[in-house]
Amino acid sequence: MISIKNVFKRYKSGKIYVKALDDVSLNIEKGEFIFFSGPSGSGKSTLLNIIGCLARVTSGSYILEDKKVSHWPDHFISPLRRERFGFIFQQFNLISGYSAWENIALPLIPMGLSQKERRKKALLILEDLNLTTRADFMAQELSGGQQQLVAIGRALVNNPDIILADEPFSNIDARHVENFENILENLKNQGKTVIIASHFKEPITKLVDKTFYFKNGAISPKG
């Protein structure tokens, strides 16, 4: 399903280039639960962003279901992001000034759904997450755990088949970890591909099918 071949990624930081990924190759099958492990700056988040089409490769190729998407222009990439991927960020990245349901419905705005339709879809998601009572709370009024649930809801509202989560356990307490694991299990049972990046050395859940260890921008055989 996902094929990463000899991918290099370099960032320009001031006058120097920083090597973020160094000849990375891997394959991920549909429905797999993947764990990217590695310390901060090891390249796991960069690869997650490349897979989610948020960043482009410097060289190498990224093939998604036989389509080489690594060099697609923005107007092809955007619908791909909207239809295929759901992102859960480390900082949740809810947008302040919007309510919980409005945050969840943000990806639906460019799809031309009316406010009524968007709210209906968002409320269904909030119901699944047991958060209906907080639908009209502003993002900044929610607790950390509730914010993460809303972030998950926003990632799922388009019913994507690939879920990408960057350090999803970093900003929630133990009480919510179990809740989140249940959600991930549901997603896996629905046949969705889940990729989690974390600084933890060992997989954080028994759901993981495959683990890739990152070190200095490359995949190492063992963490």
Partner 1 sequence: MKKYLNLFLVAVQNLRRYKAKSITITIPIILMMAVSSFMMFSRGGFVKDAQMAREFLPDVTIQGIEAGRVGKVSLDIIPEIKEIPHVKAVAPRVWGYIPLKIDDLDISYTLMGLDLENIPDNPEFLEVMEDGSFLVPGDRNKVVIGYGVAQTLGFRVGEDIEQALELCTISKDDLKNVGDEITIEDTLGNHGKFKVIGILKNRVQVYSADLMIVSNDDARDFFGYTKNEASDILVYLDESGSADRAALMISQLFTNTRVMTAKALTNLVKEAFGRRSGTFSAMWLILFSTVLMFAWSQTTHISVDAGTEIGILKSFGWQTGDIIIVKMVESLLYGFLGTSIGILAGFVYALMGTPGISGYCIGCASIYPKFPVPVSCDAGSIILLLLIGVIPVTLITAIPAWLAGTIDPDKAIKS
What is the distance of C-alpha 4 from the center of its chain?
Answer: 17
> Which of the stretches 25-33, 113-121, 199-207, 213-221 binds partner 1 when contact is defined by CB under 8 A?
113-121
200-207: long-range pairs with CB below 8 Å, 24+: 200/37, 200/169, 201/37, 202/37, 203/35, 203/37, 204/35, 204/169, 205/33, 205/181, 207/33, 207/181
Judged by beta carbon, residue 25 or residue 115, the one nearer partner 1 is 115
* Residues 6 or more apart whose Cβ sits within 8 Å of residue 19: 8, 9, 10, 217
> Which of the stretches 23-31, 71-79, 142-150, 197-205 binds partner 1 when contact is defined by CB under 8 A?
71-79
Among 14, 16, 40, 96, which residue interacts with partner 1 (rule: CB under 8 A)? 96
For residues 135 to 154, the per-residue mask of contacts with partner 1, x marking binding by CB under 8 A and - elsewhere, is: -------------------x
Contact flag: residue 130 with partner 1 (CB under 8 A): no
| Sequence-ordered alpha helix ranges (H) in 94-173 | 100-105, 115-128, 144-156
Residue 216, SS3 per DSSP: coil
> Which of the stretches 72-80, 167-175, 185-193, 194-202 binds partner 1 when contact is defined by CB under 8 A?
72-80
Q: Let me know: does 219 contact 26? Beta carbons within 8 Å.
A: yes
* Residues 6 or more apart whose Cβ sits within 8 Å of residue 208: 33, 34, 35, 196
Please report how close the Cβ of residue 222 comes to partner 1 at its closest, in angstroms.
28
Please report how close the Cβ of residue 61 comes to partner 1 at its closest, in angstroms.
18
Please report how close the Cβ of residue 124 comes to partner 1 at its closest, in angstroms.
18
Q: Let me know: does 165 contact 196? Beta carbons within 8 Å.
A: yes
Among 61, 93, 205, 216, which residue interacts with partner 1 (rule: CB under 8 A)? 93
Please report how close the Cβ of residue 54 comes to partner 1 at its closest, in angstroms.
5
Contact flag: residue 83 with partner 1 (CB under 8 A): yes
Give contact residues for partner 1 (rule: CB under 8 A).
49, 52, 54-55, 74-75, 78-83, 85, 87, 89, 93, 95-98, 106-107, 109-115, 154, 158
